[in-house]
Structure 1
Amino acid sequence: MKLIVLGAAAGGGFPQWNCNCRQCAGVRAGQPGLRRRTQSSVIVGEGADWLLVNASPDILQQIQATPVLQPGRALRDTGIRGVLLADGQIDHTTGLFMLRERGSPLPLWCTDPVHDDLTQGNPILGVLGHFCGVDRHTVTPDGSPFEVPGVPGLRVRALPLWSKPAPFSPHREHNVVGDNVGYLFENTANGRKLFYAPGLAEIDATVWEAMSGADVVMVDGTFWTDDEMVRLGVSRKLGREIGHLPQSGAGGMLEWLAKLPAATRKLLIHINNTNPILDEHSPERAACTAAGVEVSFDGLEIEL
């Protein structure tokens, strides 16, 4: 069983379409050490059967770049057996529109608050009702295990996270449990576990227990510093204010990851175009490498 990274960037991708920061300009110019990345999503499974975790706006490009997702068994076919959502954010859900040509309702797993987001704030699921339709399954973020039919050997647990819901969410100013979740994926054949949380603003006892017990941890890599966007003049909000724990500084992600067992594989995903760790020659990237923390890229495969 594998996890394959389809997209490793935060919203807007890398380079972001309207950004001329040093890094976005550099990747367009072919500067060494800067690698293009599409928006955050992964698949988990094996063979011809896969669970898509978050459906980014770049999903068609990502499918075309991923051999195991090609329609190889019938006139109309897909390796995507279901879709699992971690939140209702634009960069994790807009790709659902691109899956509308299915000949049957799209199997979709999400929490009730995310369902609210996608039926009230941004009614994607209502629109899909005019095309393939949606076969929705409820995710309860209490750590109880569940399986996705068609993806054998995979056990999933959802854990509540603190991170801001989407701006259009009916819960934007009063978070509720289930706005954002992390997932613990387990290979039932060998017991190996991977904890996945692309949006994470706070590590509580429940989240830390899941991280500490996982063989692989793949977590929020959006910003290097809390004031990164403010200093660059592209936002007035700090990273924590929009639901992302920065990597550096006291209480930052690198400090937390350093406490994990030595054998744990540690990776960052959902990386914003402003984050200097995207530059493979930067001191910030060197700090990640020295800490044993990997920076995810499109196409990365992880054995489970």
Structure 2
Amino acid sequence: MAGNSQRKGAIRKSSKGNPTAGSGGRVRRGLEGKGPTPKAKDRPYHAAHKAAKRAEKDQARRPKRRTSSDAEWVAGRNSVVEALREGVPVTALYVGEGAERDGRMREAFQLAADRGIKLLEVSRSELDRMTGGAVHQGLAARIPAYEYAHADDLLDAAAVNAEKPLIVALDQVTDPRNLGAVIRSAAGFGAHGVLIPERRAAGMTAAAWKTSAGAAARIPVAQTVNLVRQLKAYQEAGCMVVGLAADGDVSLPDLDLADGPLVVVVGSEGNGLSRLVSETCDQLVSIPMANQLESLNAGVAASVALYAIAEARR
């Protein structure tokens, strides 16, 4: 019947799944937009975002700088005076109660005062405990834990000065005095740092500091968990790796790699270079000697090689 709104199908009901149809709501929401366009690095499929993610992973893989496990002690009047004279980074001087004030003690006090090092008086028993029972003669100096550089920092040091890298790496050198001597030579002949293994090698102890004659404060020393792997990383970065060996294929004066990016590997006096390190080197270099039975310790060998390289680079 016409006009009968009660008959079935006379009224068109809206769909439950589309409540905004006919109201314009959907169109309005589409026109509102989604806010400002995200930065390129925040868009998952943008190249800048992927590059940022790669950089984060690289940074996470790069280990933090390591420090030696604990502070060290220099015990004894002569040793303390020598450490202060050589610029070892002493943080405090400890004097035993009732210790006799002789000339060495007074010199230690004066050197400490000149460098602003605090002076503390403790009981004899406390000084025994702190120095682990060493013969301290009533005087000891505290040296802070050494902060090692990262191996890549040595390349960065060369890049900052727009210079070709020159790095000294030590293999199986366990005498801290040899380490100190190498550091001193490296600083004197323009090297950008010294690389040492984390295990089975000398570290930056008080003896190494003292032998370096203060050079350890001017040149970075880096530690690596795996020396062979790090040498290969240096090779990938464009450095040639040469090892000092008595039976080397090339004599040091004939080394034609000296003026390029270079890593010089020095082994111990007794064992020389380890097999894997020797196989990793691009070239093995010998130092000419008047007598084949003579040998040089690591500190002297490094000094001779660095001098020759410095001369070739001039």
Pick the TM interval, shorter chain: under 0.3
Structure that is richer in helix per residue = 2
Give the TM-score of the pair, scaled to structure 2: 0.26
Q: Higher RCO, 1 or 2 (CA under 8 Å, sep at least 6)?
A: 1
Give the TM-score of the pair, scaled to structure 1: 0.27
Structure that is richer in strand per residue = 1
